[in-house]
Amino acid sequence: MKNNVRMMLAIGILTLTALACQALGGGASGDDAPPSVSPDPIQPEPDVILSDDFSSALWGTGTDADSMVEYVNEALNIVVYEEDYFVWSTPDDKAYENVSMETTVVNNDTDSTTAFGFICNKASGNDFYYLVMTPAGQYAIAVAKEGEADVFLTNNDQWADSDLIAVNADSYRVGADCGNGRLTLYVDGQQVASVNDSTYTRGQVALLVWSGEEAGMINNVSFDDFVMTELE
C-alpha cells in the first residue's frame, strides 16, 4: 500500500429522559392496591469531550495542488486531487485516550474506492490508527508506523466487504471506538468490525480522506455533526 501522507493541522446535547409516574384512578387501597413497580435505573450518558456542528471554524483547513480542506455550507469539506493520497484534519493538538467518535459523512459524488473515517491515537508523525470505509461497501482498520508499510488489522491485511455498508449511499453515520486495547468501526449504528491492538494508547484524533487509486477521479467528502465521548 502506498502511504503518501499530507497532514492538515488543524457538545452534543445530553438528554436525560424523565420517567413519569401515572396516577391510578379509583379507590384501591390496602391489599387491593396494585403492586409497585420500580423503574429501570437510568444509565448515565457518556461524558462529551467534543461536539461540533461545523458552524464555526475549529478544524484545520488549507488548500494546495493536491487537496483542499475548507468549510463549505457549515460542514468540513475535503477534496483530494491526487490518487492514493491521505489528507486529514485535526480539531486541536491534544492527546486523547479511550474515546468514541461519530460523524456524518456526505458522499459528494466521490469515487467509490475513496476511503473516509477517523484517525485516532496519533502519537507522532505518521504513527496512528485509522478506521475507514468506502462507498463501495468495503472497510479497514489499520495501524500506520513511520517508515513502514501500513498494516490492515482486519481481513488478513486486505480490504474487507460488509453487507452492513450501503453501496454509494448519499451519506453515512460513521463511528469509531479507540481505547482499552480495542478498535471498533461502526456504520449507521451497526458494528462492522472490531480488533484488539495496543500499539498506541493515546494521541490526536482526526477526520481522514484517503483517495482512490484511479487518476482523475473525484474524491469529495464532507463531514458534519461530529461528537466525541469518553469510552468506558
Band of pLDDT at residue 35, cut at 50, 70 and 90:
low
Domain containing residue 85: 4-10+60-230
pLDDT at 189 over 90: yes
- On whether residue 205 sits in a domain, the answer given is yes
pLDDT at 166 over 60: yes
* pLDDT at site 171: 97
* pLDDT at site 110: 78
Q: Please report how many Cα atoms fall inside a 13 Å half-sphere around the Cα of residue 56, on the Cβ side.
A: 3
Pair 151, 72: CB distance under 8 Å: no
189 vs 43: which has the higher pLDDT = 189
- On whether residue 35 sits in a domain, the answer given is no
Average pLDDT over residues 160-164: 97
Which residues are CB-neighbours of 138 under 8 A, at least 6 positions away? 115, 159, 160, 161, 162, 165
pLDDT at 30 over 60: no
Other beta carbons within 10 Å of 55: 10
Alpha helices in 6-61 (DSSP H): none
- On whether residue 133 sits in a domain, the answer given is yes
* pLDDT at site 44: 58
Give the domain CATH number at 181: 2.60.120.560
- On whether residue 175 sits in a domain, the answer given is yes
Band of pLDDT at residue 40, cut at 50, 70 and 90:
low
pTM: 0.81
pLDDT at 139 over 90: yes
Q: In angstroms, rounded to a whole number, what is the distance separating the alpha carbons of residues 124 and 65? A: 25
Query: In whole angstroms, how far apart are CA 180 and each of 96, 99, 123, 202?
Result: 12, 9, 16, 10
Average pLDDT over residues 75-81: 96
- On whether residue 42 sits in a domain, the answer given is no
* pLDDT at site 6: 39
Q: In angstroms, rounded to a whole number, what is the distance separating the alpha carbons of residues 143 and 216? A: 28
- On whether residue 101 sits in a domain, the answer given is yes
How many distinct structural domains can be found in the chain? 1
pLDDT at 24 over 70: no
- On whether residue 158 sits in a domain, the answer given is yes
- On whether residue 224 sits in a domain, the answer given is yes
